[in-house]
Each structure stands twice: as structure tokens, then as C-alpha cells.
Structure 1
Amino acid sequence: MSDLFLADPEQRQTSRRALRQQPAHARSRSHRRRRGGVVLALVFALLAGTCFVLWSVFGGLFDPAEPTADVIVDYPGPGSGQVQVTVAAGDTGDAIGATLTEAGVVATAQAFSDAYTANPQATAIQPGTYALHQRMRAADAVNALLDQGNRVSSRVTIPEGYTVEQVYQRLYEVTTISIEDYRAAAADPAALGVPVPVASVEGWLSPATYDVEPGADAVQVLSQMVARTVWELNTRGVPADQMQDVLTKASIVEREARRDEDRPKTARVIENRLREGMMLQVDATTLYGLGVTGRGPTRAELDDASNPYNTHEHLGLPPTPIAAPGAASLDAVLSPTPGNWRYWVTVNFDTGETLFAETYPEQLENEALMDEWLAANGY
């Protein structure tokens, strides 16, 4: 109680004297207590103010009750590390954004979606597997997907005229999927998408360049090749019940004709001989049945009727195609050059020059030219 409220003047005087008579160290402790209280109060006030400012700026990021739909968080980039992500066929910008967000490439799907919309080239992003950084700026992620150099799929080219065994070997060299796996997958042509009953996928593995995604198996690889063949045939209006015959004829043209200008004539010879009931007498089919390439058949091989592909001994088309025909051979079969030729023979094996004949005596003259070339070139 303060001495100012003491009613007795003498008591007030006594109180003042008592205060003046307190030891100095006692008065000092009292002063420090008052000063410490002030400092503590100032510290609390400063902390409270700081917390208020921080909460005002960042509190919305942590308060689940506050809507954050309009807040788009984007990494500053350029990112680091590497992760593989797959863009599926038909993926929209939103779908790609969800994939990238889950993989840690972009901060939010919304940021990527906005960057995708803002980039007029974004719709050209191709399906495939890409190697990207994590924590990328969304706009940089769009550009990275447009850069085909970031694709990690294997690319394999199948030339025209390859047999299935040659195709399997080429695929194995690029994909490392075993040849045995490819053979096992090909044992069920229908499962690969061949639309008609066939005994073999020979001729159905379209020659083209393919991208094989990581993790793909033999069935997936061969299925896309069959799908390409079906597309080629459908595009040309080939009915399903004629597809196998068209591929078989085109495969013969592919293996026999070296020059594109000779393909429609070769196709016409095939049609003429089939129509007239003549043996095709094609060396390439006979060699296919023997599993031989790179040489001509011997006389004994031409006379071997046990070879079902020996068209010197068996009438009509061989049991299956003998190779993968290219587009030029397909077009030749579907639009053969008008003419009455029944024979052809290659007279220059360096250039592929081929002569066509309507009669057998004319064919013998052409074969003599072939023999001359062979003799002149040491064969």
C-alpha cells in the first residue's frame, strides 16, 4: 500500500524514513525486477507481432479450411536428378500434368496444365517414355516433352523383304527381348491382332521404324507391327478375306523385283500365270521353304516336291507369304501394269535390271543375256 493513502501524517513520515533507510542492494533488486518485466513484455509483443505478420502472409498455405484452388505452385527450376515418365497415347494436358506431378517433375498438375495451354506447340507432344528432371518449372517440362531427344524408347527399323526370323533377330539386337520370346508370341497370330485365320505371322510384320517403350514384351512389340500391316491393308481397301493372298503375292514381288518400276510388271506375271493355271516357278518361294537366302536353288532343290513352298512343283500360291512386303509391292499387287507377260528374269544382278517376256522362246533369249552377265562377272 502506498504511503500517500496513510491517514496519519506521522505514519507517512515514518514510512518515508523507513524507505530511505533500506539497504542499497535491496533497492537495486527491486529496480531490476521492474526493468526485467518491461523487457519481457517488449519481447512478447515483438514475437506476437512477428507471428501475426507470418500468419498473414503464409497462413493460407497451411490452413485446410482456406480455399487454395486459385493458388498455383510452380517450381523455379531447372530441377535436378532424373526420372522416367510415360505419356500414353491420347493423354490430355491434364492427364500428363497428373503423371508429372506424381513423379515429382512438376509441383502441381494445374501449373503444368496452364503451361500446356500457353504453349501452342504442346499438342504435338508424342506418346512415349521420357527422361526428365525432378522439380522442373512447368513451362520447361512442356518444352522437354516436345524435345524428342528426351525420349528413352528404343527405335528399330525393319527393312522390306525381311522374313520373320530376320525380324526377330533385328528386334532382339535392339530390344534384347529373346528370339524365343518372339517366336512364342508369334505362335498365336490372333492374339497379336491378325484379323484372319493364318498359320504364321509371316508377311504380317510390317516393315517400318518402330519405337519400343521400356518394359514392353514380345507380344506388345509384334502387335504394333501387325497393327501397322492391318492399317496398310485397310487404307488400300483390301477386304479381310483377301488380305492373306495380297500379302503373299506382294511378298513374292518384294523378293523378286529389285526396282520399283519392275514391281507392277512382276505382279502382272503372277496374276497371268495364276489365271492360266501355270506353275509360278518362283525361285524365291522355293528358297524360303528351304530356309536359304543369298543364292539360287539347285536343280535337285527345284525338283523337290516335299518342299511345300516349291512353286516349281506345286500349283498356286505358296502356303504363306515369304517376307514382309513394303508399300510399293502392295501397291503393285493391287494395281499391276496391264500386259500379257508370263515370264521375268534378272539380267544384271548389280543394277537389278529385269526383262519380261510373253512367250517361252522370248524368255530363253532373256535367260541367255543373264548367262552372259553371269559369265562376265565370274559366276
Structure 2
Amino acid sequence: MSDLFLGTVSQHEAEQPLPTRRSRSRQDGKARRNRQRRNRRRRSVLVIIMAICLVGGAGYVVTSIFSDFFGGLFGGSSDTAEISDYEGPGTGEATVTVVSGDTGGAIGEKLVEAGVVATTSAFTKAYAANPLATQIQPGAYKLRLQMRASDAVDALLDSANRVSLKVTVNEGLAMSQIFEKVSGITAIPVADLEAAAADPAALGLPAEANGSLEGWLFPATYQIEPGATATALLSHMVGKTVEVLTANGVPQDQWETVLIKASLVEREGKSPEDRAKIAQAIENRLDRGMRLEIDAVLAYGLGKPGTALTNADKEVDSPFNSYRNIGLPPSPIASPGEVSIQSVMNPTPGPWIFWCTVNLETGETKFAETFGEHQQNVAELRAWEAANSK
């Protein structure tokens, strides 16, 4: 029956299964699953790539944050530390002192320490690039903070940025005290001042001074240019003394003698009136061939304060022992001011031989012609000391 309706077929054709709708559906599902697996693999790869990017980015952020933190904690570099040069023009103010012999590197280190430039290397490069940099003069300079290195070089070459120093030398200071004060303000070493004092000819010291600078450094306020040498400064002070002596009509052959007397007056008196009287009392003693017996002279020779003197000190063999020697000491004991010089030149006439400061706080001084009167004044001093002792 089947042959009648289907016709004849070969044995091979008879053995092949005929395709059905079910078999095609199975094949389509397999292909779909394969496509899905490929899509999943692609998505997995993409996710992995994105994850790597995210992890890498997060790592960079973490590294940046913590490197700054730990770098600052342990001294490592940070964004601020890595700045090699400031952009400028700077702000605020700083003073930097350049001394003779400073190299570009030495100046750069000072500028970095003062906060003027960012790094020494930036300054030395700018220094080397500027052909005028070697002409930077010693001195103190007012500069800005956080300047561009090249601007800092230009600023150091501008004399308008140099600042001068004021040194006030008070009346009655000895040479060693003046050296200490000058050195503390100008940074000129005391050794340099002492070396300059050892060369009186270079200072223009008059022959009347007998080679001793003591008393010839006039007390005044001096405007000192940064970089000034010890010789230049001391020469200026000596010149000022000569100027004052000349202006007050002191004969040149009396310059040293007047300075010696004026130094004693300076140390013994406070008010101009007392100084003029003390100057007369000193003349009266000298005229009578009496010993001066001035504590300040003895103390100067011993290199100690007058308040530290003892009775044994009065027996010391010294040209400055005014308790043993008659006449003036061999040199001034301090630098006298103009008032004391004028007091010596114009003393107040009177018969006084003795003087005694009876109030150490006010400087009140009493004068006496006789030893008995002087002893009464000394007793008044002792009473004041007892009342004011702690």
C-alpha cells in the first residue's frame, strides 16, 4: 500500500531518516546556546578589563594620598617639597646678610633658610646665568619671601635693597665694651676689631694718643653700611673724636691729656653741673700733688667692676692704681662724651678736693673742701646703702 502511494525508493534513501520539525528545533537551540556562551565570555572579559581599570585607578589615588602622607611624615618629597623655583614675585619681607667671600651657593643656602627662594640649585643656576652676579656686595638686604631665583639675584644687585645698621656707643664705655657692643650689632668679630686697633696708623690715630685707642672711640650713634670693615668703622669713630676736640678748642698737644681727664669725669659724674665741679676738684688735687684715689681708675687697671674692689686691690702695683700713684693714669679709662670734654675745658671754679655720691639711685653728689666734711658725706652714703640694701 505504501508503494502505491509513495512510489519506489532506493535502499539508501530508505535508510535515511527524514527531517522532522523536532530535529530542526534542537539544532536551533544548540546554536543559540553557543551564541549565549560566546556573549557571556565577551561580557566576562569586559568586566575583568573594567575591574582592572578600576583597581588600577584606585591604586593610583591611594598611592598618591598615602605617599604624600607618609612622605611628609618621614621626610619624603611632597608636591611642595618638589618645587624647584617659586613663580614669584613674592610676598612679605626677609632680611638676608651677605658677607665677604660668600659664593653663589653660600648665598643660596641663606636665601633658602630665610624662605626667599625655593632651592639652592635654583639660585645657583640663576646666579651663574647672570653675568653681573659676582658684583653682589656684602651687606644686609631686604628681600621678599618666595621669590623667583632670578628675581632674587636682581634684587641683591640693586643697592636700594641694602639696609644700613645703627650702632649707638654710650658715654663712659671702655674700648673692650665698645668692641663687644659693635660686634653684637654689626657681626664684625671682636678679633677683627682688636686687630684693627693694633694698627693705629691705619686708623688715622693721632700721635698724641701714643698708639692707644682707648678713649678715642667717640660715643655717638653711627650709621654703618653693611659690609663695613673694622678698620673703616674705628677710623670713623677716631675721626669723630678729633672733630669734637677741634670744635671745642682743645689744643692738639693737649688732646690726650684732656681725654684722660674727661674719661675720669665721665665715670665719676652724672649731671653736667657735677661733672664741671669734679673736673675742678681733679685739677685742685693735681695742683697740690695729691693722689686722685679714684676707684674707677683702679678698677679699669684691674679689669673688674668698681663695686668689686677690695682694700687689698689698693696695694696692687699698677700704673692705674690711683691710690698709690700721683698724677693722671697713662691713658683714658673710657670714651668721654662732649659734655665731659667741655667740663674739663671749662670747670666750675671752686676749692673742692673731695666729692662723694651720696645717693646711688639719683646720682646726687656732694663736694667738700676738707677731709672732715668729706667723711660726713661718706657717712651719708653708707646710711643710704644700709637703707637700700636687700
* Pairwise same-fold verdict (TM > 0.5): yes
- Aligned with residue 299 of structure 2, among 263, 283, 287: 287
In the other structure, the counterpart of 2:269 is: 257
Q: Does 1:208 align with 2:220?
A: yes
In the other structure, the counterpart of 1:331 is: 342
Sequence identity percentage: 50
State how 1:334-353 maps to structure 2 within 5 Å: 334-353=345-364
In the other structure, the counterpart of 1:72 is: none
In the other structure, the counterpart of 2:172 is: 161
- Give CA-to-partner distance per residue, 1:116-148, whole Å, 9 cap, x none: xxxxxxxxxxxx999799x9xxxxxxxx97xxx
In the other structure, the counterpart of 2:325 is: 314
- Following the alignment from structure 1 to structure 2, what is the Cα–Cα distance between the partners of residues 330 and 227? 16
- Give CA-to-partner distance per residue, 1:326-358, whole Å, 9 cap, x none: 111111111000001000011000001100001
In the other structure, the counterpart of 1:174 is: 185
- Following the alignment from structure 1 to structure 2, what is the Cα–Cα distance between the partners of residues 276 and 223? 38
Verify the 8 A CA contact 2:356 2:367 in the aligned structure 1: yes
Amino acid at match of 1:324: S
Q: Runs of 5+ in structure 2 lacking a partner?
A: 1-88, 97-131, 133-138, 145-150, 152-158
Q: Runs of 5+ in structure 1 lacking a partner?
A: 1-79, 85-102, 104-127, 136-143
- Following the alignment from structure 2 to structure 1, what is the Cα–Cα distance between the partners of residues 264 and 183? 26
1:188 Cα shift?
A: 2.2
Amino acid at match of 2:174: T
In the other structure, the counterpart of 1:39 is: none
- Following the alignment from structure 2 to structure 1, what is the Cα–Cα distance between the partners of residues 141 and 253? 40
- Following the alignment from structure 1 to structure 2, what is the Cα–Cα distance between the partners of residues 295 and 350? 15
Secondary structure at the counterpart of residue 163 of structure 2: coil
Q: Does 1:246 align with 2:266?
A: no
- Following the alignment from structure 1 to structure 2, what is the Cα–Cα distance between the partners of residues 310 and 248? 15
- Following the alignment from structure 1 to structure 2, what is the Cα–Cα distance between the partners of residues 359 and 260? 23
- Following the alignment from structure 1 to structure 2, what is the Cα–Cα distance between the partners of residues 307 and 370? 28
Kindly tell me: are residues 236 and 191 of structure 1, through their superposed partners in 2, closer, same or farther at Cα, counting changes over 3 Å? same
Amino acid at match of 2:284: N
- Following the alignment from structure 1 to structure 2, what is the Cα–Cα distance between the partners of residues 331 and 224? 21
Kindly tell me: are residues 281 and 255 of structure 1, through their superposed partners in 2, closer, same or farther at Cα, counting changes over 3 Å? same
Secondary structure at the counterpart of residue 323 of structure 2: coil
Moved more, 364-373 or 192-201: 192-201
In the other structure, the counterpart of 1:365 is: 376
* Structure 1 vs Structure 2 CA RMSD: 2.9
Amino acid at match of 2:277: K
- Following the alignment from structure 1 to structure 2, what is the Cα–Cα distance between the partners of residues 294 and 239? 32
Structure with bigger gyration radius = 2
Secondary structure at the counterpart of residue 295 of structure 1: helix
Kindly tell me: are residues 279 and 225 of structure 1, through their superposed partners in 2, closer, same or farther at Cα, counting changes over 3 Å? same
- Aligned with residue 220 of structure 1, among 224, 232, 238: 232
Kindly tell me: are residues 296 and 263 of structure 1, through their superposed partners in 2, closer, same or farther at Cα, counting changes over 3 Å? farther
Q: Give the number of aligned pairs.
A: 248
Verify the 8 A CA contact 2:355 2:368 in the aligned structure 1: yes
In the other structure, the counterpart of 1:274 is: 286
- Following the alignment from structure 1 to structure 2, what is the Cα–Cα distance between the partners of residues 362 and 218? 49
In the other structure, the counterpart of 1:374 is: 385
